[in-house]
C-alpha cells in the first residue's frame, strides 16, 4: 500500500468527515488515510520528545534555586529528564528493530491537520481573548473536526467543558482562568 491509500469501495470525500455522530458512517467505508512506517514515526516522535526534554532541562537549569525540597526548576527537570531517558530508550529499541513494526495509519488526514492547527492556536487565542470566550468558539469547532455532527452534542460538550473549568479550576483550586 502506498503513502496515500483509500480502502473500501465507496470512499467519502475528504470534505465530509465521519465520526461518532455521523449517521451515514459505515464501518466498511474508510476515508483517505496516510500510512507512515512505524520506525520512521517512532524516530520523529521520540526525536521531538527528546528535544522537548532537553528544552525543559535547559529551562530548569536557568530557574532560580533554593534550599527547599522543591524549587521552581524541580518539576521541569524531572519531566525533561524522563522525556530524554524514555525517548532515548524507544529510539534505541526502534534502531535495534525491537520497537514498533508495520505502519502507523492516520485516518482523515485533512481533519487531523486542522485539529493540530486549532490545538496550537488555542493558547494564543486564550491569551488574547480569555478562556471562556475562546472555549465557547473552539470547543464546538474541535467537536466538528472530531466528527461530532449533532448540534445538541456540541452544545452539551461545550457546556460540560465550561462547567468543569469553572468548577475545578476557579472554585475548587482557586486558580482564575484568563
165 in Cβ contact with 156 (< 8 Å): no
Q: How far apart are CA 124 and CA 74, in angstroms?
A: 26
The DSSP bridge partners found for residue 30 are: none
Q: C-alpha grid cell for residue 83?
A: 522525556
Strands, sheet with 103-107, edge to edge from the N-terminal-most edge strand = 4-5, 33-37, 103-107
Please give the chain's pLDDT, 178 residues, in tens: 444 444 544 444 444 445 555 555 554 445 688 888 888 888 899 999 999 999 999 998 998 887 877 777 888 899 999 999 999 999 998 888 776 678 888 888 888 889 999 999 999 999 999 999 999 999 999 999 988 989 999 999 999 999 998 988 888 777 777 7
Q: C-alpha grid cell for residue 53?
A: 526534554
Q: How far apart are CA 13 and CA 16, in angstroms?
A: 6
10: left (phi over 0), alpha (psi -120 to 50) or beta: beta
Residues constituting the chain? 178
pTM over 0.75: no
Q: Domain residues of the chain, as ranges?
A: 33-107, 108-177
Amino acid at each position: 500500500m502506498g503513502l496515500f491509500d483509500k480502502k473500501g469501495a465507496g470512499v467519502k470525500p475528504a470534505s465530509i468527515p465521519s465520526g461518532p455522530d455521523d449517521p451515514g458512517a459505515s464501518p466498511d467505508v474508510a476515508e483517505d488515510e496516510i500510512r507512515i512506517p512505524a520506525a520512521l514515526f517512532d524516530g520523529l516522535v521520540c526525536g521531538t520528545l527528546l528535544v522537548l526534554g532537553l528544552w525543559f532541562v535547559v529551562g530548569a537549569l536557568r530557574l532560580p534555586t533554593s534550599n527547599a525540597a522543591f524549587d521552581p526548576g524541580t518539576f521541569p527537570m524531572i519531566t525533561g529528564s524522563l522525556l530524554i531517558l524514555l525517548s532515548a530508550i524507544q529510539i534505541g529499541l526502534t534502531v535495534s528493530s525491537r520497537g514498533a513494526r508495520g505502519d502507523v495509519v492516520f485516518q482523515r488526514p485533512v481533519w487531523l491537520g486542522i485539529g493540530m492547527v486549532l490545538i496550537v492556536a488555542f493558547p494564543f487565542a486564550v491569551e488574547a481573548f480569555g478562556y471562556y470566550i475562546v472555549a465557547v468558539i473552539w470547543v464546538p469547532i474541535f467537536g466538528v473536526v472530531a466528527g461530532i455532527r449533532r448540534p445538541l452534542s456540541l452544545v452539551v460538550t461545550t457546556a460540560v467543558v465550561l462547567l468543569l473549568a469553572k468548577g475545578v479550576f476557579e472554585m475548587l483550586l482557586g486558580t482564575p482562568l484568563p
